[in-house]
């Protein structure tokens, strides 16, 4: 972990990501490591990202995301390619349309308020862990209804052993599976328990016992393609588990970094809180309100820039290609990095400074980044379907936090961890000064 001081305060870095950035400065957009099919090819920077997204046929995702199989399942969207990926994405897309998400705003605010109601002035709390649980409950209730949300803590307990496997490199995970280590055996048991609960809910939904008007599970069960094609129960299980796990694992990490930045960069908390009071008072935001929270929206975007959920992403190279004047042969894994792209001085002014105002179109010098320059949710055909829900949930919950509390950071070192879902290893401890 490195800490670099920018013009607007300290910005915490992640040592592996910073190492990749140093490699990019020294060797340029294309680097190689290792030999043959066991090696790695690193494509770094905006031009590399644009090339990757425009040439999806050169790559495959399945082998690159082996660590996600225990959680997401073999047929999850992230592990799909080609026509199979397009089919599954087409059947899932209606469930996460922005009009659906507008109906979730009151649920998001309610779970944020329930968490804040338990806080008292003078108390020290871990804002990251507290809201991690709230985001998990919100995600499940919004997408799958209250019946499944009643088991939010159950999912939190049993998914944790699976999520912990995501911290492993693929080679380490393969060894765990081969030798059936204690961590692997525990994950297998927990996976079976989670699957039993999800399959029971799928069966209820097929019987017409739908929980709520906008139940995503019902959309997945009843959705049909133009040719009448439907998802199987295994596919529905995998998409459901993926949405639950990714919905809180990645979003809660970003929430923690946002709280850390607002409390440690001078003036950010105060300006964001003033905007929330001016626009909302103490009411639950509407979709129109969220558009008016330009500074808080900038906080969310700037947090995603400096601490993107995925430090790196990967693809398996399946065809030879040329890039940056060099030939790359099929076989190795290709690595690209949102983290590196988001901290490049040739792309971002004061790249290591936390500056929410850079996202306001009314600010002098504003420049909207291209999809190859800002990619916290990936890009191209595999861009995350849940990105709108994630940014909406972050904005709503941060707005409730700002409206109802005054916090002070607790002294201590904040350390990032995990390539797959960058999060504060020891949480974000804060002291509650006031709570309305």
User: Tens of pLDDT along 374-412?
Assistant: 999 999 999 999 999 999 999 999 999 999 999 999 988
Q: What is the pLDDT of residues 326-346, one digit of tens each?
A: 999 999 999 999 999 999 999
Position 78 scores a pLDDT of 84
Per DSSP, the three-state class of 423 is: strand
Say if residues 129 and 427 touch (Cβ distance below 8 Å). yes
- Evaluate if residue 9 carries a pLDDT over 80: no
Phi, psi values for residue 18, rounded to 5°: -65, -35
Query: Which are the contacts of 316, defined by CB distance < 8 A and separation ≥ 6?
Result: 59, 60, 61, 62, 63, 64, 333, 334
**Cα–chain center distance at 321:** 30
Structure tokens at 231: 């998802």
For residue 356, the 8-state DSSP code is G
Say if residues 107 and 141 touch (Cβ distance below 8 Å). yes
Say if residues 42 and 31 touch (Cβ distance below 8 Å). yes
Q: Considering the chain, what percentage of its residues have pLDDT values greater than 90? A: 70
Delimit the domains of the chain by residue range.
3-60+76-435
Q: What is the pLDDT of residues 79-124, one digit of tens each?
A: 899 999 998 888 888 777 766 778 899 999 999 999 999 999 999 9
CA atoms within 13 A on the CB side of 390: 26
How many residues are present in the chain?
436
Phi, psi values for residue 335, rounded to 5°: -115, 130
Q: Determine if residue 332 is left, alpha or beta; phi over 0 gives left, psi from -120 to 50 gives alpha, anything else beta.
A: beta
Q: Which fold has domain 3-60+76-435?
A: Cytochrome p450 (1.10.630)
DSSP 103-166: TTHHHHHHHHHHHHHT--TT-EEEHHHHHHHHHHHHHHHHHH-HHHHTTHHHHHHHHHHHHHHT
pLDDT band at 38 (very low <50, low <70, confident <90, very high): confident
- Evaluate if residue 8 carries a pLDDT over 50: no
- Evaluate if residue 4 carries a pLDDT over 50: no
3 state SS for 170-231:
HHHHHHHHHHCCHHHHHHHHHHHHHHHHHHHHHHHHHCCCCCCCCCHHHHHHHCCCCCCCCC
Task: State mean pLDDT over 311-325.
Answer: 95
Name the burial class of residue 180, with classes exposed (0-12), middle (13-18) and buried (19+) by CB atoms within 10 angstroms of its CB: exposed
Q: What is the pLDDT of residues 117-141, one digit of tens each?
A: 999 999 999 999 999 999 999 999 9
Per DSSP, the three-state class of 66 is: helix
Position 214 scores a pLDDT of 66
Q: Among residues 132, 92, 93, 96, which one has the least CA distance to residue 115?
A: 132
Residue 384 in marked binding region = yes
Position 296 scores a pLDDT of 98
């Amino acid at each position: 972990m490195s800490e670099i001081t920018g013009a607007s305060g300290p910005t915490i870095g992640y040592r592996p990501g910073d190492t990749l950035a140093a490699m990019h400065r020294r060797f340029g957009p294309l680097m190689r490591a290792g030999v043959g099919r066991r090696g790695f090819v690193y494509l770094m920077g905006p031009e590399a990202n644009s090339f990757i997204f425009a040439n999806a046929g050169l790559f495959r995702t399945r082998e690159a995301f082996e660590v996600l199989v225990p959680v997401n399942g073999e047929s999850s969207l992230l592990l799909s390619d080609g026509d199979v990926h397009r089919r599954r994405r087409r059947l899932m897309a209606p469930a996460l349309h922005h009009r659906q998400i507008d109906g979730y705003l009151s649920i998001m605010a309610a779970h944020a308020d329930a968490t804040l109601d338990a806080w008292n002035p003078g108390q020290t709390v871990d804002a990251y862990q507290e809201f991690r649980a709230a985001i998990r409950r919100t995600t499940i209730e919004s997408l799958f209804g209250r019946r499944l949300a009643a088991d939010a803590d159950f999912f939190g307990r049993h998914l944790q052993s699976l999520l912990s496997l995501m911290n492993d490199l693929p080679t380490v995970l393969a060894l765990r599976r081969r030798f059936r280590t204690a961590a692997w055996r525990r994950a297998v048991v927990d996976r079976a328990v989670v699957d039993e609960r999800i399959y029971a809910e799928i069966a209820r939904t097929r019987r017409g016992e739908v929980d709520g008007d906008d139940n995503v599970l019902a959309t997945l069960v009843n959705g049909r393609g133009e040719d009448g094609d439907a998802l199987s129960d295994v596919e529905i299980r995998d998409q459901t588990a993926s949405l639950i796990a990714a919905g809180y694992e990645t979003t809660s990490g970003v929430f923690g970094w946002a709280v850390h930045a607002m409390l440690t960069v001078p003036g950010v908390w105060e300006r964001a809180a003033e905007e929330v009071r001016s626009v909302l008072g103490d009411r639950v935001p509407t979709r129109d309100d969220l558009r008016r929270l330009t500074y808080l929206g900038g906080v969310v975007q700037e947090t995603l820039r400096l601490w993107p959920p995925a430090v790196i992403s990967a693809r398996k190279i399946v065809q030879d290609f040329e890039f940056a004047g060099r030939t790359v042969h099929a076989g190795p894994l290709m690595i690209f990095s949102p983290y590196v792209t988001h901290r490049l001085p040739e792309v971002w002014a004061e790249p290591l400074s936390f500056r929410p105002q850079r996202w306001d179109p009314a600010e002098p010098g504003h420049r909207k980044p291209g999809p190859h320059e800002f990619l916290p949710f990936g890009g191209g055909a595999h861009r995350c379907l849940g990105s709108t829900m994630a940014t909406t949930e972050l904005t709503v919950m941060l707005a409730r936090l700002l409206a109802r509390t005054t916090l002070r950071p607790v002294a201590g070192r904040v350390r990032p961890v995990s390539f797959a879902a960058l999060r504060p290893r020891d949480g974000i401890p804060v002291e509650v000064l006031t709570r309305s």
